[in-house]
Amino acid sequence: MSNNLWQYRHLIKRLAISDFKVRYKNSVLGFFWSLLEPLLMLLVLYVVFVDVFPSTQKNYHLFLLLGIALWDFFTKGTSMGLQAIISKPGMVRQVYIPREILIFSSSLTALMMAVLEIGVFGIFMVISGVMPTSTAIYFPIIFMIIFILVFGTSLALGALNTYYRDVQYIWAVILQAGFFASGVFFDFSTYESDIKGLLLLNPMARIILISRESLLYNTAVSSWDLVFCFASSLVMLLVGYLIFMKLEPGFAEEV
């Protein structure tokens, strides 16, 4: 697969950029519109958890925004991957390209969007007077792990959704549940429960947790956490790849 991806790098670049442009409607305003959603989410959650249920978290707005941005990367990435095959019927039926390219370029588009959101998060950090410390060097690694996770999940979802169109509705519900289970608005390190261990099997929960440690709380990320996240993203990539390759031969007939 990596061979194909390299051979078609021009196409991948071209597709990722054109999707990115379509997303932002070729305008600067489009870019601000896309940030409106996470920022509104920030506002709502901030009001709820500062005013209604006061949170004692230091710099809670940054804590929230980082969680929202990373969760958004996963949500947007997998939702775009889900549509990547069926939204380009011409490129499946009328020409032959290795179809994993469509999924990969959709994950790349999500990556570009996530980089922008993290950029906005960075601006908020600076405004709030919080400077990243040396533990921030873990963050790019964590970011790449999310990318692998998004790509692997998208391989599975994009292929399944081509055959069964209700996978997109099922996935939307799973994402809703994931938003509450991944600690976007609460802190797993202070949360005590019998099912905490179970919830932390969700790689996104652990990813958001260690991202905050590295970027906001000057805490070195434990190697166990890093290995767990990396390994689970690789497992997802393998599972996604196997599902994708099993279903790929019939795409042109099902799309």
Shortest spacing between CB 10 and another protein, in angstroms? 4
Q: How many helices (H) and strands (E) does the chain have?
A: 12, 0
- Rounded distance between C-alpha atoms, residue 148 and residue 159, angstroms: 17
Q: Of the two residues 43 and 170, which places its CB atom closer to another protein in the complex?
A: 170
Q: Please identify, using beta-carbon distances, which residue of 26 and 222 lies nearer to another protein.
A: 26
Q: Least distance from C-beta 39 to another protein, angstroms?
A: 26
Distance separating alpha carbons of residues 171 and 167, to the nearest angstrom: 6
Question: Least distance in Å: CB of 90 to another protein?
Answer: 4
Amino acid at 230: F
Closest CB to another protein among residues 165, 196: 165
CB of 3 to another protein, least distance (A): 14
One-letter amino acid for residue 179 of the chain? F
Residue 70 CB, nearest approach to another protein (Å):
29
DSSP conformation class of 134: G
User: Alpha-carbon distance 221 to 209, whole Å?
Assistant: 10
Please state the closest distance from residue 227 (CB atom) to another protein, in A.
34
Calpha distance 46→52 (Å, rounded): 9
Torsion of CA 54, 57, 59, 61, to 10 degrees: -50
Between 79 and 232, CB nearer to another protein: 79
**Length of the chain measured in residues:** 255
Chain residues binding another protein by CB under 8 A are 7-8, 10-11, 13-15, 18, 22, 88, 90-97, 164-167, 170, 249, 252-253
d(CA 74, CA 24): 19
Q: Which residue has the tokens 């099993």?
A: 246
Q: Write down the least CB distance from residue 18 to another protein, Å.
A: 6
8 Å CB contact between 181 and 198: no
For residues 8 and 179, which CB has a smaller minimum distance to another protein in the complex?
8
Nearer to another protein, 17 or 239 (CB): 17
| 207 Cβ contact list (under 8 Å, min separation 6) | 70, 142, 145, 146, 149, 229
Residues 6 or more apart whose Cβ sits within 8 Å of residue 245: none
